[in-house]
C-alpha cells in the first residue's frame, strides 16, 4: 500500500472505510471528554477503543445509509480475525488524519514544526 494513500479499509461485516475527519474528531473528543493529545490509542481501554473506532466509522456508515450505533461496535469489532488489526488500522487512520507522524503527547510541537518549515520554504518577499 502506498504511503500517500489516506483511505484505510478495515474488514468487519463488510469492508469499511475508517476515517477521522474533523467532525469525527470533534465528536470523539467531546464524548471522551479528552483533548487529542490525551486520548489513549494503545488499546488498553477497550471501551475507549470502541468509541474511537465508532467515530472513525461514522462517515462510512452515513455513506451507506446505515444507522451505526455505539452499541453495535462490540459485535462489529468481533468480526476482525486478528485483534491487532484493529490497532493497526486505527493507527493508520489517525496518521492519515494528522499526516505521517507518530501519535503522541507532543502533537502540538509537530504541528508547530510543520508550520515553521512551510514558512521557511518561501522567499519572504512579496512579488
Q: Is residue 126 part of a domain?
A: no
The three three-digit cell numbers of residue 48, written as one number: 475507549
Q: Hunting for cell 461496535 — which residue is that?
A: 73
**How many separate domains does the chain show?**
1
How many CA atoms within 13 Å lie on the side-chain side of 122?
Answer: 8
Whether residue 83 has pLDDT greater than 90: no
Most confidently modeled of 2-11, 61-70, 105-114? 61-70
Q: Is residue 16 part of a domain?
A: yes
| pTM as predicted | 0.72
What is the average pLDDT value for the chain, to the nearest integer? 81
> 49: Cβ–Cβ under 8 A, 6 or more apart, which residues?
43, 77, 86, 90
Q: Is residue 3 part of a domain?
A: no
Structural domain containing residue 88: 8-121
Q: Is residue 101 part of a domain?
A: yes
pLDDT of 43 reads 72
What is the rounded CA–CA span in Å between residue 5 and residue 20? 14
Q: Is residue 2 part of a domain?
A: no
Whether residue 73 has pLDDT greater than 50: yes
Q: Is residue 42 part of a domain?
A: yes
In angstroms, how far is the first alpha carbon of the chain from the final one? Answer: 41
What is the rounded CA–CA span in Å between residue 117 and residue 21? 24
Dihedral in degrees, nearest 10, Cα atoms 77, 79, 84, 86 = -40
> 93: Cβ–Cβ under 8 A, 6 or more apart, which residues?
8, 18, 19, 20, 56
Q: Is residue 56 part of a domain?
A: yes
Amino acid at each position: 500500500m502506498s504511503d500517500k494513500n489516506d483511505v484505510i479499509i478495515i474488514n468487519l461485516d463488510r469492508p469499511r472505510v475508517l476515517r477521522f475527519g474533523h467532525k469525527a474528531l470533534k465528536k470523539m473528543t467531546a464524548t471522551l471528554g479528552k483533548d487529542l493529545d490525551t486520548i489513549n490509542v494503545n488499546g488498553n481501554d477497550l471501551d475507549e477503543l470502541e468509541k474511537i473506532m465508532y467515530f472513525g466509522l461514522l462517515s462510512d456508515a452515513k455513506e451507506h445509509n446505515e444507522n451505526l450505533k455505539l452499541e453495535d461496535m462490540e459485535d462489529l469489532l468481533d468480526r476482525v480475525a486478528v485483534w491487532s488489526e484493529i490497532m493497526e488500522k486505527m493507527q493508520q487512520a489517525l496518521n492519515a488524519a494528522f499526516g505521517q507522524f507518530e501519535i503522541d503527547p507532543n502533537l502540538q510541537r509537530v504541528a508547530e514544526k510543520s508550520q515553521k518549515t512551510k514558512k521557511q520554504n518561501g522567499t519572504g518577499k512579496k512579488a
